[in-house]
Amino acid sequence: MMQYIIGNFKQTIYMHCLRKTALVFFIVSILLPVFSTPFKADFTSVSLSPSSGYIYSDSTAISVYVNSGSDEFVGVDINLAFSGSVQYISATGAARCTSFQVTPGSGTVNIECFSTQHEAGATYNGVLATLYFKSTAASGTSTFTFSSVDPNATSKGTGTYTLTSAKNPNTGQGGGDSLPDSGLFDDSRSLIVLGGVLIFLGFFWNQILNVGALFLGKVAEKKVENRRSKLEKGF
């Protein structure tokens, strides 16, 4: 009888421990993925600049801005979609992007930027990429939207542009062969004054040379006279 009671007691304790172990294992299996997955906050915003205007037939620059907010910026993967008769040309990435790549598609471009050389915890708020597009139509409109952003951005800007067959008036500014619009040589009076100053300096320098030559000549003559006088006294 006593052995039966002891055996039953041991079995009860064993089952109790087994249930506790199962409960702990169940709780750990639920909480482990939560604590093992790093928390990643949403970026504050992605936007386009300018967000309106013209897309010309040769080249038009549209910049993509990103604000990571309080989250460390280690990279971003963006899909930018656009409508209308627009063709992607090229792109330049920000200095923050250690690795930068743009992959064009049909009516879309994928932008990948990864940062590996920043300080730990460093955020970012600025230009991510400058994209260049051109219009292949004489008229119409094109709408740019962010179809996906990873990490997600709370605010996603858009852009609406007018298509034109005209050339970009801002392309190549400052690249002409003409002189600057302002400066010393734009004013004829300044040119005359400069010429007068140069002539005066030339005349002044010439006088200095003449005086120097005259002085050296007299010194040489004096030396010759002294030598002649010594020779005459010797005889």
- H runs (alpha helix) in the chain: 2-36, 188-234
Cis amide bond preceding 104, omega within 30: no
User: How many other β-carbons are positioned within 10 Å of the β-carbon of residue 219?
Assistant: 10
Which tokens in the block code for residue 81? 């979609």
Residue 6 has pLDDT above 60, yes or no: no
CB 165 within 8 A of CB 186: no
Which tokens in the block code for residue 49? 């600049």
pLDDT tens for 60-84 read 999 999 999 999 999 999 999 999 9
Q: What average pLDDT score do residues 202-223 get?
A: 71
CA distance 47 to 80: 11
Q: What is the pLDDT of residue 226?
A: 67
Residues forming beta bridges with residue 24, ordered by sequence position: none
Q: What is the pLDDT of residue 16?
A: 56
Q: Are strands 108-114 and 153-156 parallel, antiparallel or unpaired?
A: unpaired
CA distance 207 to 9: 128
- Residue 111 is classified by DSSP as E
| Angle CA 140–143–144, to nearest 5 | 145
Q: What is the pLDDT of residue 223?
A: 63
Q: Alpha-carbon Rg of the chain, whole angstroms?
A: 42
What is the amino acid identity at position 66?
Answer: V
By CB neighbour count within 10 A (0-12 exposed, 13-18 middle, 19+ buried), where does 112 fall? middle
Q: What is the pLDDT of residue 185?
A: 39
Q: How does residue 173 score in pLDDT terms, banded at 50, 70 and 90?
A: very low
Element of type H or E holding 146: strand 141-150
Residue 136 has pLDDT above 60, yes or no: yes
Determine if the pTM surpasses 0.75: no
Residues forming beta bridges with residue 63, ordered by sequence position: 49, 130
Q: What is the pLDDT of residue 3?
A: 57
* Average pLDDT in the chain: 80
Lowest mean pLDDT among 2-16, 120-134, 174-188: 174-188
Nearest to 57 by CA among 138, 143, 119, 112: 138
- Residue 51 is classified by DSSP as S
Element of type H or E holding 11: helix 2-36
